[in-house]
Amino acid sequence: MLLGVIADDFTGASDIANTLAKGLPGQGGLRTVQYLGVPRDKAAAEVEAGVIALKSRSIEPASAIEQSLAALRWLLDQGCRQIVFKYCSTFDSTPAGNIGPVAEALAGELGVKGVIVCPAFPGAGRTIYQGHLFVKDQLLNESGLQNHPLNPMTDADIRRWLRLQTTADVGHVDIGVVYEGSVAVEEALAENARQGRTLVIVDAITDDDLVAIGRAAASHRLVTGGSGIAIGLAAHFIGQGLASGMGAEVIGLEGPEAILAGSCSGATRGQVDLHRKSHPTLAIDVAGVMDGSVTMSNLVSFLLQNQGSAPLVYSSGTPDEVRAIQERFGRENVATALDALFASTARELIKAGIRRLVVAGGETSGAVVSALDLGALTIGAEIDPGVPVLLSGGDRPVALALKSGNFGTPHFFNKALERLAGK
């Protein structure tokens, strides 16, 4: 294994696995496998990039550090020459969050400074300019992410945000340096390291910027960012003749289907609204979940009764609706109850023969795949930017699409089901 990734949630893991497998046009990518948690066994010999998916984004820093260091040690044991710490391209966190602490802990374990921090993903509208994170033409804290139910982002200045989470000063490489090319970026990172800065925000507005940053990071043992940071990393190994350039293959699986949506993002709500017009859908009554009147059996019955029609169950709501239900029952209580509901529903669906499963929302996806315990997942073709086909092994394989809340085109659900069937 050449490159190892530690991802702080399951959709993010799929996102960067897709980027590594796809690689640059004309060059190909890396043979990539996604692992659900830290594996117990060694990686297969043909794996060039291993992505470990953790469910650590919203947990206490101490626990996130412990899990991330365990993942790091396993990846190093597989021979990885470079490690990527992958977090959301919208930097989902809080002032007491764990992105900074985990990045510092990984850097400390590897003995490095001047570590790139770059959540940019231009293909999904996430860019960094003068250390500020934008979602398309809006500052992060004005894009709707300030209303995130678990990790509200109320400041677009990533330098200022990280300084609340870390112990050392945070550096910055501005877009002018990036435009000068990879040598200039590498020199700027080295200077930040000499000045004792562990983490350094690097501006990026286009994919070309990310390729330049990737070249600058070719010899770095640790890189951190969103999935976009991986755009140029595969090319380094392929160019040296260390990797095959084979990347992703077209894979799929025919069979019964179901869609579970737990994200409250604007993109997912729009996808749900569009899907409702021509497919059977069931809105989850969250108050009913909390009082026990809505159970897993209600959801499973609906989905199985509507086989062949791309049925969807969802808990998505507007910011005002989410706020009201959280004030009534408690934010953590609601999140825990919904995670448990989606997890148990997914288990029963797979037992009942569902073979194509689409899941929307990072926390929801984490709950679902943790419950299914599918082992290593093969990375297939891209459905939409950041979302690949995933295929489990074994006698009863399952084809999955794990979508971050803000990702996907309006008709994502139908498109995903087609791709999961290999079409």
At 366 the pLDDT is: 85
At 316 the pLDDT is: 82
Label residue 320 by pLDDT band (50, 70, 90): confident
* Overall pTM surpassing 0.75 (yes/no): yes
Rounded to an integer, the average pLDDT of 171-181 is: 97
Residue-wise pLDDT for 299-318, tens only, equals: 999 999 999 999 999 998 88
Asked whether residue 398 carries a pLDDT value surpassing 90, the answer given is yes
- Percent of the chain past pLDDT 90, that is, above it, reads 69
- Which residue has better confidence, 235 or 147? 235
Nearest by Cα to 12 from 87, 74, 94? 87
Q: Which of 89-103, 143-157, 267-281, 334-348 has the lowest mean pLDDT?
A: 143-157
Rounded to an integer, the average pLDDT of 349-374 is: 92
Determine how many CB atoms are found less than 10 A away from the CB of residue 272: 20
At 88 the pLDDT is: 85
Rounded to an integer, the average pLDDT of 39-63 is: 93
Residue 261 phi, psi dihedral angles, 5° rounding: -125, 120
Beta bridge partners of 24: 28
Rounded to an integer, the average pLDDT of 189-203 is: 97
Q: Rounded to whole angstroms, what are the CA distances from 54 to 36, 91, 149, 392?
A: 7, 16, 20, 17
Asked whether residue 240 carries a pLDDT value surpassing 90, the answer given is no
Pairwise CA distance, residues 391 & 393, whole Å: 7
Helical residues (DSSP H) of 38-172, grouped into ranges: 61-77, 99-110, 158-165
**Of the segments 89-93, 109-113, 165-169, which one has the largest average pLDDT value?**
109-113
At 149 the pLDDT is: 62
Q: Which residue has the tokens 């990527």?
A: 84
Asked whether residue 337 carries a pLDDT value surpassing 90, the answer given is yes
Across all residues in the chain, what is the average pLDDT?
A: 92
Q: Does the structural domain 3-239 have CATH classification 3.90.1150.10?
A: no
- CATH 3.40.50.10840 domain residues, the chain: 3-239
Residue-wise pLDDT for 107-150, tens only, equals: 999 999 999 999 998 988 899 999 999 988 888 777 676 666 66
- CATH 3.40.980.20 domain residues, the chain: 257-420
CATH class held by domain 257-420: alpha beta
CA max distance for the chain: 63
Asked whether residue 293 carries a pLDDT value surpassing 70, the answer given is yes
Rounded to an integer, the average pLDDT of 73-83 is: 98
Cα three-residue angle 135-22-158, rounded to 5 degrees: 30
Judge whether 149 and 160 are in contact, CB under 8 Å.
no
Pairwise CA distance, residues 368 & 117, whole Å: 29
At 52 the pLDDT is: 97
At 266 the pLDDT is: 87
Strand pairing class (115-118; 3-7): unpaired
Nearest by Cα to 354 from 287, 316, 305, 295? 305
